[in-house]
């Protein structure tokens, strides 16, 4: 199952249906924009801290990865900042950065050929939580009249579309921690079907509100390593005790290869394959046998016509939860067999925490940087490695190499499994 191809010509129909990433936009706890994020990854310094947004006293967990330097007024128009909640604000800012990074003038594009796919697990629920407090104190007159527009499930993608005049395909999915990855996979499908020439895709999450945060603490999903926040998120470490909640957004500009080549765009990576499955097992626990996680990875490989032995790095979900990491490790071994012994694997949540629906998009964008800047980040805080699967972990200093074929995993509540196959378009 090889991905060998004949040389492409300028009139080759395949140029229209191959999807490439040409712009990256980060708004995360480890940085806003490409360069700050890349520098922070090299510093091996976690953004996890004691929460100072609200009183976490009632809960077992008191730590999170916050974005402390985001000013919506500085990055958005006054009207946008006034009429949106934090989840949409993060997404709009990340989109602006991605469009600038892609050096694309969306105003010159045919509007109905520009689409938007977004993912968010909770959307505007945190903002609604705050408005509910106003309602309890003072009744309906105290509630922001724009509340209905923030809790609307499609708010993120629709706000992006309005800001950029994108009247093409549009959707926001809410498939838990896989949703950002699913959004990018849907961008691939839209390009492959010929539904769009350009798609803005990614994820956004703003869950750092008392009840949103506390709900995950109540089900004991989050780390209680409160005395040492910097090491609390430790994917694949045997001492992991839960994920660390984060906020953040990442959006990418996806174009058909033909469109990107015509305008001379810089290409980070091709989105060559996408796999999506569901465990149909449990709302919070993965299938113990990892069957559907394996199938999602295999579907992405098949979609890309890529053999397992050709993959050069697995960008893991690595949530730092006891069950998920061991299940993912065993599933990777199940897909790659003996190739696993030489296949580097790492995940970046030790730096930026777990921003739920935004995490897959943040990690996909990081993978794009690793592919073009020839350095694979390690898994921060992974000291005593998870034995399940016997994985080939990236060393603490990272790997100075250029991975040309990358598998990116995302797994979430409800048994959602998503995988992307990224590769150098010249491979």
Q: Do residues 364 and 422 make contact, with C-beta atoms less than 8 angstroms apart?
A: yes
Closest by CA to 422, choosing from 20, 11, 15, is 20
Q: Do residues 263 and 20 make contact, with C-beta atoms less than 8 angstroms apart?
A: no
Dihedral angle over CA of 357, 297, 423, 302, nearest 10: -130
User: 426 phi and psi, to 5 degrees?
Assistant: -90, -5
Residue of 62, 164, 259, 317 marked catalytic: 317
Closest by CA to 225, choosing from 310, 141, 321, 111, is 321
Nearest-Å Rg of the Cα atoms of the chain is 20
Q: Which residues sit opposite 407 in a β-bridge?
A: 314, 421
CA 352 to chain centre: 11
Give the position of tokens 């091996």: 44
Residue of 354, 382, 392, 393 marked catalytic: 354
Within a 13 Å sphere around the CA of 223, how many CA atoms are in the beta-carbon half?
A: 32
Q: Do residues 424 and 371 make contact, with C-beta atoms less than 8 angstroms apart?
A: yes
Q: Are strands 170-173 and 313-315 parallel, antiparallel or unpaired?
A: unpaired
- Can you read off the two tokens belonging to residue 342? 């030489």
- Can you read off the two tokens belonging to residue 349? 């949540």
Give the position of tokens 């993965």: 286
- 214 exposed, middle or buried (CB, 10 Å; 0-12, 13-18, 19+)? middle
Question: What is the end-to-end Cα distance of the chain in Å, rounded?
Answer: 14
Taking CA atoms, 122 is separated from 137, 233, 311, 326, in Å, by 24, 21, 33, 26
Active site residue 317: yes
Measure the CA–CA gap between 422 and 180, rounded to whole angstroms. Answer: 15
Active site residue 306: no
- Can you read off the two tokens belonging to residue 146? 């724009």
Active site residue 354: yes
Residue of 62, 87, 164, 177 marked catalytic: 177
Give the position of tokens 């994020």: 37
Query: Residue 381: which region, alpha, beta or left (left: phi > 0; alpha: psi -120 to 50)?
Result: left
Report, as residue numbers or ranges, the catalytic residues: 177, 317, 354
């Amino acid at each position: 199952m090889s991905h060998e191809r004949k040389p492409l010509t300028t009139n080759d129909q395949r140029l229209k249906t191959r999807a490439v990433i040409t712009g990256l936009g980060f708004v995360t706890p480890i940085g806003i924009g490409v360069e700050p994020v890349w520098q922070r990854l090299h510093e091996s310094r976690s953004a996890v801290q004691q929460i100072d947004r609200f009183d976490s006293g009632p809960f077992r967990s008191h730590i999170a990865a916050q974005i402390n330097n985001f000013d919506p007024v500085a990055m958005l128009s006054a009207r946008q900042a006034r009429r949106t909640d934090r989840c949409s604000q993060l997404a709009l800012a990340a989109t602006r950065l991605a469009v600038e990074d892609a050096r694309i003038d969306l105003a010159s594009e045919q509007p109905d050929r520009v689409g938007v796919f977004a993912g968010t697990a909770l959307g505007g629920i945190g903002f609604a939580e705050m408005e509910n407090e106003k309602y309890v104190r003072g009744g309906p007159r105290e509630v922001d009249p724009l509340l209905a527009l923030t809790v609307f499930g499609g708010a993120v993608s629709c706000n992006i579309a309005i800001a950029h005049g994108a009247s093409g395909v549009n959707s926001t999915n809410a498939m838990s921690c896989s949703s950002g990855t699913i959004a990018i996979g849907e961008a691939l499908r839209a390009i492959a079907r010929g539904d769009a020439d350009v798609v803005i895709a990614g994820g956004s999450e703003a869950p750092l509100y008392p009840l949103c945060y506390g709900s995950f603490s109540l089900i004991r999903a989050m780390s209680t390593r409160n005395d040492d926040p910097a090491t609390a998120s430790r994917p694949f470490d045997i001492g992991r005790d839960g994920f660390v909640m984060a906020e953040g957004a990442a959006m990418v500009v996806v174009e058909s290869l033909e469109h990107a080549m015509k305008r001379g765009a810089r290409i980070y990576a091709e989105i060559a394959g996408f796999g999506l499955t569901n465990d149909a097992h449990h709302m919070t626990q993965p299938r113990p046998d990892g069957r559907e996680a394996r199938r999602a990875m295999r579907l992405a490989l098949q979609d890309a016509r890529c053999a397992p032995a050709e993959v050069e790095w697995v960008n893991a979900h690595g949530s730092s939860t006891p069950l998920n990491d061991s299940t993912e490790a065993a599933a990777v071994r199940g897909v790659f067999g003996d190739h696993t012994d030489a296949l580097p694997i790492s995940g970046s949540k030790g730096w930026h925490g777990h921003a739920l629906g935004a995490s897959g998009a943040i990690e996909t964008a990081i993978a794009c940087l690793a592919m073009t800047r020839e350095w694979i980040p390690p898994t921060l805080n992974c000291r005593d490695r998870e034995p399940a699967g016997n994985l080939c972990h990236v060393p603490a200093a990272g790997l100075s190499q250029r991975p040309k074929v990358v598998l990116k995993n995302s797994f979430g509540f409800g048994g959602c499994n998503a995988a992307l196959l990224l590769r150098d378009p010249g491979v």
